[in-house]
Structure 1
Amino acid sequence: MPETSRTDTGRLMEMLSVSLGAYYGDFTAASARENLTASQGKTLSVLRRGPAAMRVLAELLACDASNMTGIVDRLEKRGLVRREPSPGDRRVKNVVLTAEGEHAVDRIRANMRTTREGLETLDEQERATLHDLLDRVFTTRPTASR
């Protein structure tokens, strides 16, 4: 059986899987410390980038629209998000992160000790390189027509 190198795509995919598993476990525990589910924490994190329509949130979080409604309802009840009409289409409701929701995201990130400590072992140049590589690997690109 041939030995695989560190640059083998399959091995890199496995490393990403292990890394993302550790990150997700850390994120889930930090969210729980805020009395949030991982899905609620992820929703707040996505909204940190800006308001989003319910449909868009469901797509980004890969969940059913009815499940997204329940998640947003619970977050809204806690004052972490609010719904407001979309400026472009008043029939569409955008979900917006409140100031308290932003604080919750900050606390989640601060409590992700394993991830934070791991990233802090990298110097500034290594963090910049990691950022650029992740951006390059995971940035959505239009698919070429064939």
Structure 2
Amino acid sequence: MGSTATTTVPTNPELMEVLAAVGAAYFQDFAAAAARHGLSSSQAKALGAVQESVPMRALAGRLGCDASNVTGIVDRLESLGLAHREAAAGDRRVKIVVITEQGRAILGLIRGEMARTHQAFEAMSDEQRVALHSICSQVLPVLSGRAVSPQ
């Protein structure tokens, strides 16, 4: 009838390479869209990380940078009206970063303008999209250190 295809299971290094390549391509698309709105990729990433209000120190953790770097990032976002700082209710020394409606709108535009990413996702079948979402949802907690260990 037809030829039987054998599937070779990728090794961990092969999976790491393809995942890194996908991440890099996504990041380039994101950075280019952010630049069209006058933002660095770090500033745009910070907007995405404060969809829920977050303390400055926690934002540094989410961005994988030093707390002193976050100050400059948030200063820029504040100067553009995309985010602002508030004192935490329980401890006024703790500053909370809050995205503004304008910040949400800009983040939506950035994500909407990621043409290569949209093209890649739109080329997938519904089943592939469901599978990708499921796989990413399974891998992300482990990679981010938020996985719940089995009891």
Please identify, of 15-24 and 87-96, the stretch whose mean Cα deviation from structure 2 is larger.
87-96
1:88 counterpart (90, 102, 105): 90
Runs of at least 5 residues in structure 1 that lack an aligned partner in the other structure: none
Give me the whole-angstrom Cα distance separating, in 2, the residues matched to 1:89 and 1:127.
43
The gaps in structure 2 that reach 5 residues or longer are 1-7
| Equivalence for 1:33 | 36
* Residue of structure 2 equivalent to 1:54: 56
Aligned equivalents of 2:90, 2:139: Cα separation in 1: 32
Percent identity over the alignment is: 42
The correspondence for 2:107, drawn from 105, 108, 132, is: 105
Conserved? CA contact 1:6–1:12, under 8 Å: no
* Offset, 1:91: 2.1
Instruction: Report the structure number with the largest CA radius of gyration.
Output: 2
Please report the RMSD computed on the Cα atoms of aligned residues, expressed in angstroms. Answer: 1.6
Q: Please state how far the C-alpha of 1:6 moved relative to its aligned partner.
A: 4.4
Q: After the TM superposition, which segments of 4 or more aligned residues of structure 1 sit over 4 Å from their partners? A: none
What is the aligned residue count? 140
Give the TM-score taking structure 1 as reference length.
Answer: 0.90
SS in 1 for 2:92: coil
Give the Cα separation in 1 of the matches to 2:82 and 2:14: 40
| In 2, Cα distance between equivalents of 1:36 and 1:55 | 21
CA distance in 1, matches of 2:114, 2:9: 27
Change (3 A) 1:30 1:6: farther
> What is the CA–CA distance in structure 2 between the aligned matches of 1:6 and 1:80, rounded to whole Å?
45
> How many angstroms does 1:36 deviate by?
0.2
Q: Which has the higher contact order (CA 8 A, sep 6+)?
A: 1
TM-score, normalised by the number of residues in structure 2: 0.87
| 1:9 matches 2:15 | no
SS in 1 for 2:14: helix
| Aligned equivalents of 1:125, 1:99: Cα separation in 2 | 34
